[in-house]
Amino acid sequence: MLKYAIIFAVISLIAGALGFTGVAAGAAGIAKVLFVIFLVIALVFVVLAMLGVGAARKVLRK
C-alpha cells in the first residue's frame, strides 16, 4: 500500500513539473488516500500485535 502511495506521489511530482496540473492533482489525491489507508492498517496491526503479546504472556504464565 505504501509502495503505491509513493509511486503516485512521484507521478504527481513529475506531472506537476511538466505542467500537467490535472494529472498531478489526481495522482496527489490518490497518493493521499492510499497513505491514509496504509496508516489505518498499520495502526490496526500494531494494536493487534500489542494485544497478541499480552495474550501470549498470559498463556505462558499458566
pLDDT in tens, 6-60: 999 999 999 999 999 999 999 999 999 999 999 999 999 998 888 877 666 677 7
Show the domain range for 37: 2-61
How many Å is the Cα radius of gyration of the chain? 19
Separation between Cα atoms, residue 8 and residue 30, nearest integer Å? 7
The 10 Å Cβ neighbour count of residue 62 is: 4
Global pTM value:
0.76
Q: State residue 2's pLDDT score.
A: 87
Judge whether 58 and 28 are in contact, CB under 8 Å.
Answer: no
- How many folded domains does the chain comprise? 1
**And the C-alpha cell for 56?**
501470549
